[in-house]
Structure 1
Amino acid sequence: MKKNNIRDTPVIVIPKGYTIDDLMDFDDEGYENGEPAMVEEVKVVFEQ
């Protein structure tokens, strides 16, 4: 199995003055027909 490297994890950067809710859609609407096509782990970074 391939070793997980920190560079393999996508990073979402939240700009200063924004919240994660401003940039991400957490509404479950649109998934009535099943599960999402892909689920992936990401790293979230908040700019200070």
Structure 2
Amino acid sequence: MDAVTRSGDLGVRIHATATRAIIHDPEIGFAGIFAEAKRSLGG
């Protein structure tokens, strides 16, 4: 997987995570969004 594809995939995951967070838990904040995105990427 090249860097552009990986970056795009990360953007999609962050966006989906952010959307879920805003809908379900508006208090999560950006730190929580990025932590969840890293977890979803296996980081």
Structure 2 length as normaliser, TM-score?
0.27
- Larger % of helix: which? 2
- Which has the greater radius of gyration? 1
Higher relative contact order (CA 8 A, sep 6+): 1
Structure 1 length as normaliser, TM-score?
0.26
- Larger % of strand: which? 1
